[in-house]
Structure formats: structure tokens, C-alpha cells
Amino acid sequence: MMEWSMEAATTFEELADLEMRLLQDGLRPNAEPVERLLHLWRLCLRTEGSMNAARLEVKALQEAHDRENMEVQKKLDQVRVLIAKQNSFNVKLEEENQQLHAQLKQLHLDKEAEKMEVAELLDQGGLCEIILSSPSEQVAYLLVERASLLERLQALDVEKSPSLMAADPAAVFKDGMDKSSGVEPSEDCGAERLNLERDLDEASRRLSMAHKEIRRLTDELESAHMTQKAYETKLQEVEFLKQEVERLRLYDVSELQKARELNERLDNEMRILREQVRSVDNERMLLLALLDKKMMEGAEAEDEEHPLISLPKVEKVEISVQAVDDDMESVHERCLKDLKEKDVELRRLQTCTQQLQKELSQLQLQRDQAQQLLGEQEQNHRSTVEDLKKELEFLESMVKHAQVENQNPLIDDYKVLTKAESVLQQKDEQCAEMLEILHHNMALLNTAEADVLSGKEKITELEKLNAELDHKNQQVLAELQEALARVSELERNCESKSAELQKLLEKSRELQLHLDTEQNMHHQSQQDQESLLQQKAEECAEMRGTLENISGLLHTAETEVLSEKEKITELEKLNAELDHKNQQVFAELQEALARVYKLENNRESQSAELQKIQEKSRELQHHLDTKQNMHHQGQQELDELHMELKLEKDRVFAKEKELQELQKQLQQTTIDFEKLQKDAKGWSDALHNQQGEVDDFMEQRRLWLQREGELQQAVETLGKLEDTHNKSAEQLLELQGEVRNLALELELVRAENEQLKNEAKDMDVDLATLRAQAQEAEKQRQLWLYCKKKMEQQIKALQDKQASMTLSEKDFQCQVLDLKAKLAATQMNEQTTKLELQSYLGEHDQLLASQNEVLVLKEELKKLLDEKAKVLNKYNEKKEHFMDKFCAAKLFYTKEMLWRDDKIQELQRNCDFLTKQVGKVKETTMKMDEVNSKLLKENHEFQCELLKEKEDQNETLNILKKYKLRIEHLEKMNKMMENEQLWNHSQITRYPFPHAALGKSPSATNQSALPGGDTKRDLLDMIQNTQTTIQSEYQDVSPAQSLTHRHTYEIGYLNLTPPFSPPRRQMQAESSRVGSEEVPQADRRSCLTERFL
């Protein structure tokens, strides 16, 4: 009840929630159930549609992401391959550099040794002064000495008489010395001549030695020059590489120095600008203080004297302040432009330095890769050359050994060969049968290989994408490996032939004792042997030719390696282009990721409600997928196990049937034997039984002989298989010819660089076919070896059985002797029992009938035994055939599983490597993003500071404008006040006095003008009167006239007179003169203010 009440409560709550939701959606509470169901159905359809749309979008995004990842992985693989090639190329270059350095060091050491030898010879000759000079100077000195000695000898010869020309050279030289001295010969002169002759002999000997050494040195120099010329290309390449490396280093260093200098210069300029800004701020503060003081003073002066004359001065001050502001703004804009240009230069230099660092790292990687490649290729080349040399020596030794053995006298080999031919014919017949079995097996293997190849083709399609760039470099290596494989196969063929020759020689030696009677055929056999030897010699010559061709192929391979170096340079260029493309792709990927992020941000609002449902659906799908995969795997394993169990059950069932039949036959035979034993009694039964056992033994022996014949047939099949193996060797030689043709085609292809790709694809197809043929040949060879091993095992088993049979035969002979003894005893007993047998003739007839029945039963037993033997043979053959198939399938399965595991491991390694690289790329991108964000923040802060400085400068400029306007206004007011004072003073001085109007004399006026007690009072009275009159005039004048007065004041300042004031022109002219005298003072003040600013 409690449970029912709980369920009722939950259902009630759910119904209440449903009604609330329906009311929220707009349905009435009194709505019909059909309307409610329709509303719920629509809601369900909407949610399903939104779910499906979201799933489709998610799938599309996942597929796009997977495609992008695949493209990135492909490009990363290409870059990795190119990087590996570059590293190998750099390694080779470094090894070549080291070799050339070692050669240069050796040449230097040789030169130094030669110099030491020359120095020792000069020390021995007493020419220590020439040791430090160059070899050319030494040779010149020796030549000069030789010329001087020859001149002396010629002079002596000329001084001698023609009669003494035929005498000895020593006597001629003595006579010449006597004549030259002008003194008669004496003993002292003779001693001196002897010393001179000795000196001459020694000098000539030294000269000859020097000539020899000079010739030797010249020869050595020529050889050194030749070696230098030979190594000039390599040295030039090395020097070129060194120069490039040094140039790059210098370029990098110079650019780094330039960048540092620019950074330092820009830092200094920034410091100078900051100092200038600070100084301008200080000056601004001082100017503000001064302007405040002047403004206060000017304001007080204006308030006291002339408050009405301020407007035009203010305008002029504003104009001057605006000009100063414009100048400051232009200077500020220039500074900003300079700063921006410097920032752009700094960024450009930073990017250049980063690019140069990247290029340096790339070049170093390329150099390392190239050196590694060169080292590997040189090592492989050396190892191949050494292996080929060893193989050539081994083959030559084998050929010599074969020739030596063939030269030994071989007696009566012709008959042996004829017998061997007959045996071979028999073996050929047996091999035909074996070949049919092999063809059947090969058909089964081909079907299995077709199934495997169908699976491999899918894998090869994936591998081709990664092997396009590797294929060009691996072609030469593949050709070399194929050549080595063929050489190894030729060696194996030679070894097999040598083994066959050794066997034939042993057989011939064994048969020499048995074939002494047939000496007449010896000559013919010798001739045949000579023909065979010639054939073998021709085969050896062909082998040598093939080896020479292989050496030629190696030379061509070396040339191809050199051409591949050029290709590697092209690949480096392609690598640079690929790097550029990778950068572009990376930029595009970043853009795409940005777009994806934008789309995700836009769709986050929409997918917020669906995330929970999607997560649940994903989890359920994941669980379902895992369960389905487990279920499929379990079903596959169960199906396989069921199939295997069915096969084994069928086999066991068949075997059980056969065993039951055999048991039934045995039971019948046992029953028959029991009947015969009951019916046939006595000694006749025993004899007949013994005779039957003898017959059985003979039949078993015949069966063993038949088996020996079958083994001989199997041996003949092995011989045929060896012949087929030789045929395959010939096919391999044909393939070598095809490889040579392919090498020629490769050379043509290298000449035609435009058709490289198409011909490379054709070569790929040809190499794949050749590899498939080689693999098939290897499989056949392995099968032949496997069959050979089995046959050898069977032969051993038969030999053991034969030995056991010989022992059983001996035992049987002993039993026969015992039986003979028993027969003799029985014969004696028969003689005694003949009398009894006569009485029992009727019984004897019955016995004869029973004997006939026994013979019939024996024949039936023989038939049954024959059938049993046939059945057992068939069963054994089927079992062996099944075991062979099972072993072959097991080997194939193990190989395929190993290959699959290796492939999976390689793919896992590649995946790990790619994940690591993707992680590194992500880390680098994160670092770059962080650096960019930092730089953006710094740039933003710097811009904010610049804006603040701009605002501060604008404020200072506005303040300066205001103060400048005030200063100009004050200056104008000062000028106006001065001009007014001057004008008033001139007006006072020239104003007509009243006593002059009354007719006083000018002397009186002059006297009145002089200073005195009354005159001062009179002057003051005059000034007051003039002021009152002026005020009255101003009051009487209209507004227009007042404006004209103002205009006149301004025009007077400009030294102009209006047309409507003729009486005041003189006064205004004089005031203008005074103003013109005071203008330079105002100009000086304005200049001082500008300088101060």
C-alpha cells in the first residue's frame, strides 16, 4: 500500500508539472486530450529536429576537424622526411669537410718534411744563409752559382792553347790557371790547383745532387699540383660552404649589431625626448609664473588708466598664441611621427632577427641532415664494395678450386653421366607428379596471397602518400640491395653447383675401381669432360662478366649518388618552399580556428540547452560502440573457434569411421582365423601358417622396396626442383639484365628532368613487380628447402626401418632354420604316420577341401591387408599433406601477424611523435599568444601614456596661448598708453594759449613758456582747460565721430591722417614720429618674449 501511495503521489506531481507546462505554453486547462497530445507531439518533434540538426552540425565539425588534422599530419610527415634528408646531407658534407681537412693537413706535413730535407741538404753543403729563403730563391741562387762556375771553366778553356784541348780537363784547367796568374808553375801553384780542382769536383757533385733534388721536388710539386687540381672542386665546394657559413654568421652578427645599435639609438632618442619634455615642462612652469606676474601687473595698469582700450590687444594676443600653438602642434606631430617610424623599424628589425634565427636553425639542421646522409651513404657504399670484393675473391677461389679438381684424371665419367641421365629421366617423371602437387599448393597459396594482397593494397595506398619523397632517394639503395641479393643468389647457385660437383667427383672416385675394364671409352669421356670444362669455364667467364657488370652498376650508382646530391639541393629549395607553404597553412589554420572559435561562441548560447542531452547521448553511444565492438570481437572469435571445432570434429569423425571400419575388418579376420584354427588342425595347419607368415614378410619387404622406390622418386623430384631453382637463377640473371635496362632508363630520365615524376611512377610499378617476383622466388625456395628437409627426414626414417628390417630378417632366418629342423622331425613322424594316413584317406580328402578353403581365405586376407595398406597410405598422405598445409598456413599467419604488429608499432610511434609535435606546436602557439598579449598590453599602456602626454601638452599649449594673448594685449595696451601720452604731450605743447590770442608778443610767450613761479600755474590751468574742452568736444560729437576719433588714433599710430581732420595733421604726424621711434623698442620686447618661450 505504501508503495502504491508513493507511486500515486509521484504520478500526481508529474501530472501537475505537465499541466503547469501546458498552461505556460498557452493551452487552456479545459482543453481536450487530443489538443494536449498534439501539443506534446509537436514539442517532441521540435526537440528531435533540434537534436538531429545539432548532431549533424557536430558531425560536420568533427569531419572538418579530422580532415584538417589529416592534412596537418601529411604536411608534418613531408616536413619530417625533408628534415631527415637535410640532416643526412649535412652529415655527408661534414664528413667530406673532415676528409678534405685531413688531406690538407697531410699535404702540409709533407711540404714541411720536404722543407726540412732541403734545409738539411743546405746545411751539409754549407749554405745556411739560403735556408730561410723561399725555394724559388734557393733554386735561383744555385743556378747563379752554376752559371758562374761554368763561366770560369769557359774562361780557362779559352786561355788554353788549342794544342792542349785534347789533353785532360785537369791539365787544361791547370794551364789556364798558370796563364791567368802570369807566373810560371811551381809546387805551390800545383797545390792550389789541386785544391781548386777538388773544390770544383765537390761543387759539381753538389750541383748534381741539387739538380736531382730539384727534379724530385719539381716532380713532387707537380704531383701535389695534380692532387690539388683533383681536389680543387671539393676544396672549392668546402670553401664555398665555409664562406657561406661565415657570410651568414657575419650577416647575422652584423644585423644583430645593427639591431642593437638601432635599439640603443632609439633608447637614447627616447631619453633625449623625455629630457626635452621635462625641460619644456619646467620652462612652462616658469613661463606660467612669469605670465601670472605680468598679467597681474597688466590688469592693475589697465584698471587704473585705460579700461576701454583692451579689446584689439586681446585679439592680437590670441593670434600670436594661436601661431605658437600651431608651431607646438607641428613639433608634437613630428615627434609622434618619428616615434611611430622608430617603433615600426624596431618591429621590422625584431621580425628580421627572428627570421634570421629561424633560418640559421634550419640551415644547421639541413647541414646536420646532409652530413648524416652523406655518412650513411659512404658507409653503405664502403660496406657494399668490401662485400663485393670478398665475394669476388671467394668466387675466384671457388673457380680455381673447381679447375684444379677438374684437372685431376677422371676415369669413365661418361658412363656415370649416362647412368645419371637415365636416373634424371626417371626423376623428371617423378618430378612431374610432384610439380602437379606443388602447382596445387601454389594455387592455394596464390589464393591466400590474393586475399593478403587485397588487404595490403589498402595499406600501400596509405604508405604511398608518405613514400613519395622517400622514393627518389631509396631507388638507388633499392637497386644496390637488389644487386647484392642477386649476387648472393649467384653465390648460392655457385655453392650448390660446387656441392653437386663434389658429389659427382666422389661418385666418380668410387666408380673408378669398378670401371677399369672399359678403358676404350676413356678418351670419349675425356673429350666430353673437356667440353663440360669448357662450358664451366664459359659459365665462370659469364659469372665474371656479371660481376664486372655489377661493378659497373656500382660506378653508375656512385654517379647517381652525385646526381642525387644535386637533387638534395633542389629538395632543400623545395623544403624552403614547403616551409613557406607550411607557414601559410599554419596562418590559414589559425584563421580557421579563429573562425571556429567565433562560431562556437555564437553557438554557445544555442547549444547550452543541448549540451546535457548531447553528453548523455555521447556517453550512451560510446558505451554502445564499446559493447558492439566487444560483441563483434567475441562473435568473430567464437565463429573462428566454431569453424576450427567443426573442422576438427569432421576430421575426428572421419578418423573414427576409418578406425571403426578397420576394427570391423580386424574382427572379421580374427573370426575367420579362429574358424580356420578350429577347422585346420595339425602339422599341416602349422606349415601353412608358417608359409603364410613367410608370404606376409615377403609382401612387407616388397612394400618397403616400393617405399624405397618412392623415396628415390622423391630424390629425383628434389633434383628436378634444383633444376627449377637453376632456372629461377637464370630468370634472376634475366632480371639483372632488366635492371640494367632500368638503370639506362634512369640515366635517360635524369637527363630529362621534366619527365621525372611519370617515369618514377613507372619505375615504382616495375620495382614492385620485381619485388613481388623476388618474394615469390624466395617463397618457392623456402618451400623447396622445407620439402627437401622433410624428404631427408623420411629417408633417415626409412634407413632406420631398413636397419630394423635387416635385424628382423636375421631373426626370421633363424626361425626358418628352426622350422626346417622341425620339418625334418615332422617328416620322420610323417613316415611313421603314413600308415595311419592310409586308413584315413577319407579324412584326408576332407582336409584337402579344408586346405583349399584356407587358401581362398588367405587370398581374401591378402586382399584385405592390401586394401588396409592402401587406406593407411592414403591416410598418411592426406595427413602429411594437411600438415604441410597447416605448417605453411601457420608460417604465413605468424609472418602476417609479425608484420601487422610491426606496422601497428610504427603507426603508434608516428602517432606519438605527431602528438608530441602537436603538443609542442600548441605550446609554442600558447607562448606566442602570451607574448603577443604582453606586447599588446605594453603597446596599450604606451599608447595611453602617449595620449596622457598629448593631453598634458595640449593643456600646456592652451595655457601658453592664453598667457601669450594676455602678454600681447598688455603690450598693445602699453603701446597705446605711450602713444596717448606722447600725443597728449604734443597736443599740450602745441595748443594755442589765450594770451597769444589777446595779442601778446612772442617774446612774452617765450618768457611765459620758461619755467617760473607763475608759469607752472598757468600751464596747469591750460592743461585743465584743454581737458575740459576735449571732454566737451567728445560729448558734442556723435557716435560716428567718436568712431572716427578712434580710427584716427589708430591711424595716427600707423602714421596716417584722416581727411576730415585737417587742423590736427601736424600733431598726428609728430605723434606718429614719436611712435615710430618707439616701435623698435616694442619689437625688441616681442623678440625677447619669443626667445624666452
Task: Quick: pLDDT tens for 151-176.
Answer: 887 787 777 644 444 444 444 444 44
Query: Do 117 and 70 fall within a single domain?
Result: no
Best mean pLDDT range from 186-195, 284-293, 332-341, 1000-1009: 284-293
How much is the average pLDDT of 297-311?
A: 54
pTM of the prediction? Answer: 0.21
Q: Average of pLDDT values for 585-611?
A: 65
If we measure between CA atoms, which residue out of 529, 550, 437 comes closest to residue 483?
A: 550
1022 contacts 991 by C-beta, under 8 angstroms: yes
Answer yes or no: do 43 and 130 share one domain: no
Average pLDDT, the chain: 66
3-state secondary structure of 681: coil
> 130 with 75, same domain?
no
Residues 132, 53 within the same domain: no
Q: How confident is the model at residue 410 (pLDDT cuts 50, 70, 90)?
A: very low
| Residue 1063 within a domain | yes
In a domain, 424, yes or no: no
Q: Which residues of 224-254 are buried (b: 16+ CB within 10 A; e: fewer)?
A: eeeeeeebeeeeeebeeeeeeeeeeeeeeee
267 within domain boundaries: yes
Q: Whose grid coordinates read 600653438?
A: 325
pLDDT in tens, 17-29: 877 877 887 777 7
741-757 tens-digit pLDDT: 666 665 665 666 566 56
Q: What's at 548, amino acid-wise?
A: E
Domain boundary pick from 249, 281, 311: 311
- Could you tell me if 164 and 276 lie in one domain? yes
Q: For residue 707, is it within any domain? A: no
Domain stops at, among 294, 311, 328: 311
Confidence class for position 688, pLDDT limits 50, 70, 90: low
Note down the domain range covering 142: 113-311
Amino acid identity at 141: Y
Tell me the per-residue pLDDT of 1027-1064, one tens digit each, with 9 for 90 and over.
Answer: 555 455 444 444 444 434 443 433 333 333 333 334 44
Listed residues 650, 667, 699: the one ending a domain: 650
Nearest to 684 by CA among 858, 834, 846, 847: 847
Contact present, 549 and 740 (Cβ < 8 Å)? yes
Is pLDDT at 498 greater than 70 in this prediction?
no
**Position 1077 in a domain:** yes
Which of the pair, 100 or 688, is modelled with greater confidence?
Answer: 100
**Does some domain include residue 868?**
no
Domain-located, residue 856? no
Which segment of 45-49, 71-75, 181-185, 786-790 scores lowest on mean pLDDT?
A: 181-185
Asked if the structure places residue 52 within a domain, the reply is yes
Q: How large is the average pLDDT for residues 449-473?
A: 56
Beta carbons within 10 angstroms of residue 375's beta carbon? 19
User: How would residue 695 be classed by pLDDT, with cut points 50, 70 and 90?
Assistant: low
Please enumerate in sequence order all residues whose Cβ is within 8 A of that of 722, keeping only pairs 6 or more positions apart, or say none. Answer: 496, 500, 784
Q: Name the helix (H) or strand (E) containing 736.
A: helix 683-751
The answer on 281 and 153 residing in a single domain is yes
pLDDT value at residue 87: 79
- Burial class for 1000, CB neighbours closer than 10 Å (0-12, 13-18, 19+): middle
- Listing DSSP states for 346-370 in one string gives HHHHHHHHHHHHHHHHHHHHHHHHH
Residues 229 and 142 in one domain: yes
C-alpha cell belonging to residue 1002: 612772442
pLDDT at residue 953 is higher than 70: yes
Same structural domain, 119 and 62: no
E-strand spans in 905-958? none
Say which range, 720-734, 877-891, 1040-1054, has the weakest mean pLDDT.
Answer: 1040-1054
Buried b / exposed e along 581-598 (16+ C-beta atoms within 10 A): ebeebeeebeeeeeeeee
**Dihedral (CA of 398, 399, 404, 408) sign:** positive
* 106: region left, alpha or beta (phi > 0 left; psi from -120 to 50 alpha): alpha
Q: Give the N- to C-terminal CA distance of the chain in Å, as an integer.
A: 103
58 and 196: one domain?
A: no
What's the total number of domains in the chain?
4
Query: 970: exposed, middle or buried (C-beta count within 10 Å: 0-12, 13-18, 19+)?
Result: buried
